[in-house]
């Protein structure tokens, strides 16, 4: 048990370390980063940010889809309302992911044109 806990902790540290080294700007810096982007590298980093956002929205949409299905067997409360809530969030998250993917593509295209 100690060995698997140590392995888990080592994996978590590795993930956190790799995340800290990521080329994606922090969300708090995005407005300034976008307004000052003038090179292909900047636009690639912005595209990477939107790719991460899209992936997060897609993952959250999948979770809400599962939660909506989980409410179908609930004997108490108002599972219909809860399932509808999850279904609505799923749709909005999928839309947000599509918009983030469009922004990602736009910045990748711009980066490519600046590289030429």
List pLDDT tens digits, range 9-58: 444 444 443 444 456 778 888 899 899 999 999 999 999 999 999 999 99
Question: Please, what is the Cα angle at 63 between 58 and 69, to 5 degrees?
Answer: 130
Q: Give, rounded to a whole angstrom, the gap between the first and last alpha carbons of the chain.
A: 55
d(CA 98, CA 70): 26
Q: Cβ(51)–Cβ(108) under 8 Å?
A: no
Please state whether 37 falls in left (phi above 0), alpha (psi between -120 and 50) or beta.
Answer: beta
On whether residue 96 sits in a domain, the answer given is yes
On whether residue 74 sits in a domain, the answer given is yes
Instruction: Please state the rounded mean pLDDT for residues 76-87.
Output: 86
Closest CA to 56 of 100, 103, 112, 109: 100
On whether residue 2 sits in a domain, the answer given is no
pLDDT confidence tier of residue 71, bands split at 50, 70 and 90: confident
- List, as one string, the DSSP characters of 69-85: HHGGG--SS-HHHHHHH
Closest CA to 48 of 69, 72, 27: 27
On whether residue 70 sits in a domain, the answer given is yes
On whether residue 1 sits in a domain, the answer given is no
CB atoms within 10 A of CB 83: 18
Residue 34 domain boundaries: 25-115
Q: What is the pTM for the complete model shown?
A: 0.73
On whether residue 47 sits in a domain, the answer given is yes
On whether residue 3 sits in a domain, the answer given is no
Q: Into how many domains does the chain fold?
A: 1
On whether residue 75 sits in a domain, the answer given is yes
């Amino acid at each position: 048990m100690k060995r698997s806990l140590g392995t888990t902790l080592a994996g978590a540290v590795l993930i956190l370390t790799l995340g800290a080294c990521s080329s994606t700007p922090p969300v708090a810096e995005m407005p300034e980063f976008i307004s000052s982007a003038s090179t292909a590298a900047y636009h690639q980093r912005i595209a990477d940010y939107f790719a991460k956002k899209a992936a997060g929205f897609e993952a959250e949409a999948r979770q809400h889809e599962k939660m909506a299905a989980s409410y179908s067997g609930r004997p108490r409360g108002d599972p219909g309302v809860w399932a509808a809530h999850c279904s609505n969030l799923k749709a909005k998250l999928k839309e947000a992911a599509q918009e983030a993917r469009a922004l990602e593509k736009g910045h990748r295209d711009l980066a490519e044109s600046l590289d030429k």
